[in-house]
Amino acid sequence: MITNNPFSTLAEIVPTIAMQGFVIAMAALTLVGVLVDIIHKKNVKYFFENAKKAKKNAQVELTTGKRTAVILKTVAHDIATTSELGWGKRRLAHVLGMYGTIIFWICSAILIFSYSSVGIETPSTLTALWHIGAILTCLGGYWFWFFLRVDVSAEAHPWYRIIKADLFVLALLACATFGLAWSYTQYSGMTGLSYLFLILFIVSNLVLFGGVYWSKFAHMFYKPGAAIQKNLAEADGSRDNLPPPADAPEQFGLGIKREQPKHY
């Protein structure tokens, strides 16, 4: 199954141009959803105003080289490895889901735009990566959903409790799960189930990319900007208008360190 290109077989009944148009439509829905989110929540406006305040309160004027170094370090450390989560299960689950999703999406686009013709020979590495990306997404996502969610682990809510904020992760998991199921049933010759999982795969993509405004999808674009702004503020001394760290050592006893953190 891992060498199966489901889009090539799908081309026998669905024109390639239709598949490519669907991808473009999903990208357009994402763009529109993010723009509406920006206009409604005014997050970008806040970032720009905060950056202006930080510039006025800066203690050090950063050179272009220093600013570039801070940005690159933030991308390589904070963003690429989700370091704000610290070392542990939660971070590992996010990394698995994040990189699995990136691989899954990129390979999907390549397969659809370059290898979605009937009978075309597809590199086995590409199809393997498509399946591996979906599997990693499922591993990270289901691990997070069943075992690591804060409201479930710390507030004793049941795993099946669903709120609007869960739309993104559930739609993402549905895409990866139904994509794998579609590929498997298509490869195994289960025509009826193959069509069913294809429809579910399409619907889950519509929910994922069409629900950007109502889900946490847009946060994927805000978090890198917030991390970069935070580190730039640390470097130039403005510290987002917060007071500098105290010189005296902390003397608050053991506090929460009396037991190992286990709730998150």
**Residue at 157: amino acid letter:** H
Residue 262's pLDDT band (cuts 50, 70, 90):
low
Alpha carbon distance 16, 22 (integer Å): 10
Task: Among 128-137, 142-151, 255-264, name the one with the lowest average pLDDT.
Answer: 255-264
Using alpha carbons only, what angle is made at residue 104 by residues 72 and 145, rounded to the nearest 5 degrees? Answer: 90
- Whole-Å CA distances, 125 to 11, 34, 96, 173, 195: 20, 33, 19, 23, 25
Q: Please identify which residue in the block is written with the tokens 């399409």.
A: 202
pLDDT band at residue 244 under the 50/70/90 scheme = low
- How far apart, in whole angstroms, are the C-alpha atoms of residue 205 and residue 186? 19
Evaluate if residue 193 carries a pLDDT over 90.
yes
pLDDT above 70 (res 196) = yes
Q: Residues of 196-228 as b/e, b for ≥16 C-beta within 10 angstroms?
A: ebbebbeebbbbbbbbbbebebbeeebebebbb
> Are the CB atoms for 37 and 218 separated by under 8 Å?
yes
Tens-place pLDDT, residues 90-114: 889 989 999 999 999 999 999 999 9
pLDDT score of 261 more than 60? no
Q: Is the pLDDT of residue 241 over 80?
A: no
Question: Residue 166: pLDDT band by 50, 70, 90 thresholds?
Answer: confident
Structural domain boundaries of the chain?
6-236
> Would the pLDDT of 249 be above 70?
no
DSSP 166: G
